[in-house]
């Protein structure tokens, strides 16, 4: 399903909260999935603060609309679209809605993810039903592919584009309890590399962003404080990660500064994983 929840236009503020000129992305239109909360919402806000028009995609329609309204209240341009990224037609419809509203699409952030389901939580992996595996893989990996399918023709026609697929540090430090999630996020890295080969000569770069465990309201609700403390001690930079620590790399990958960078995985975790 893909339902337009809110279309809004505004006037961007003079400077972003990151201290940079807000017009860096003023001629860009970004689609961000899983953008109703957590890091996805942070990505959407950061791009909007630098001038981009942003399409906020999520299955959580009300929260997605809230993010879009917040962006507009701060002078930005935003559209919220209820979207299941594992549905190819829905993803395509959301991109079409973005183009109708803003005229183009330049940046895709494939951030939507699913870590577990009721069928796998607390159940040994060798007892999981096939549909539980399929659901997690569908959101985490198939969604990235459907997103690329939806935006690539438009980006190729314009001769410029950025696709950033979000993976996970669990690919480097896996746990059996999340074997479906780890496999899917590893697949995202392979997908990124393959897509980069096909799109590079069209001015479209494809890279993977790999954030470490990050303090967001969503993550704070999933893990006790001791988990964050443990991760902080294992990092070279021994402190918690916050969305602002991840956003800088994302913005670089969306910018013209990364014109010659494609097919790469960028681990942003304060020096926990070394690859």
Q: Is 144:165 a contact under the CB 8 Å cutoff?
A: yes
pLDDT recorded at residue 220: 58
DSSP bridge partners of 24 = none
Q: Is the pLDDT of residue 222 over 80?
A: no
pTM of the prediction? 0.90
pLDDT in tens, 175-217: 888 899 999 999 999 999 999 999 999 999 999 999 988 767 7
Domain ranges of the chain: 2-212+245-268
Element (H, E) at 161: strand 161-166
Q: Is the pLDDT of residue 7 over 60?
A: no
C-beta atoms surrounding 186 within 10 Å:
18
**109: closest CA among 27, 192, 173, 217?**
192
Token pair, residue 20, equals: 């940079």
* Paired sense of beta strands 2-8 and 77-83, if any: antiparallel
**Burial environment of residue 201 by CB neighbours within 10 A (0 to 12, 13 to 18, 19 or more):** exposed
Which CATH number applies to 2-212+245-268: 3.40.50.1950, 3.30.465.10, 1.20.1250.20, 3.40.50.720?
3.40.50.720
**40: closest CA among 140, 104, 110?**
110
Q: Is 249:20 a contact under the CB 8 Å cutoff?
A: no
Q: Is the pLDDT of residue 83 over 90?
A: yes
Q: What is d(CA 102, CA 131) in angstroms, rounded to the nearest whole number?
A: 37
Active-site amino acid positions: 181
At 4, is the pLDDT very low, low, confident or very high (cuts 50, 70, 90)? low
Token pair, residue 92, equals: 């395509």
pLDDT recorded at residue 9: 54
CA distance to 96, 99, 120, 130, 175, per residue, from 55 (Å): 11, 10, 32, 33, 34
């Amino acid at each position: 399903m893909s339902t337009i929840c809110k279309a809004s236009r505004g006037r961007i503020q003079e400077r972003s909260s990151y201290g940079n000129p807000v017009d860096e992305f003023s001629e860009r239109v970004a689609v961000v999935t899983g953008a109703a909360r957590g890091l996805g919402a942070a990505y959407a806000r950061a791009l909007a603060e630098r001038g981009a028009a942003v399409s906020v995609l999520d299955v959580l329609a009300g929260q997605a609309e809230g993010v879009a309204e917040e962006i507009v209240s701060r002078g930005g341009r935003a559209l919220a679209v209820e979207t299941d990224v594992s549905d190819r037609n829905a993803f395509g419809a959301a991109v079409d809605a973005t183009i109708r509203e803003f005229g183009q699409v330049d940046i895709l952030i494939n951030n939507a993810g699913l870590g577990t389901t009721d069928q796998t939580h607390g159940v040994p992996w060798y007892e999981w039903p096939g549909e539980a595996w399929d659901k997690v893989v569908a959101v985490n990996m198939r969604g990235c592919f459907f997103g690329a399918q939806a935006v690539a023709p438009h980006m190729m026609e314009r001769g410029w584009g950025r696709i950033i697929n979000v993976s996970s540090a669990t690919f480097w430090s896996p746990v059996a309890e999340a074997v479906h999630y780890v496999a899917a996020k590893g697949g995202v890295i392979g997908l990124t590399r393959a897509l980069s080969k096909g799109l590079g000569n069209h001015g479209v770069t494809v890279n993977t962003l790999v954030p470490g465990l990050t303090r967001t309201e969503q993550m704070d609700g999933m893990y006790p404080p001791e988990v964050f403390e443990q991760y902080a001690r294992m990092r070279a930079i021994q402190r918690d990660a916050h969305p602002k620590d991840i956003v800088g790399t994302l913005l670089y990958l969306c910018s013209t500064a990364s014109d010659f960078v494609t097919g790469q995985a960028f681990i942003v975790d304060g020096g926990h994983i070394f690859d």
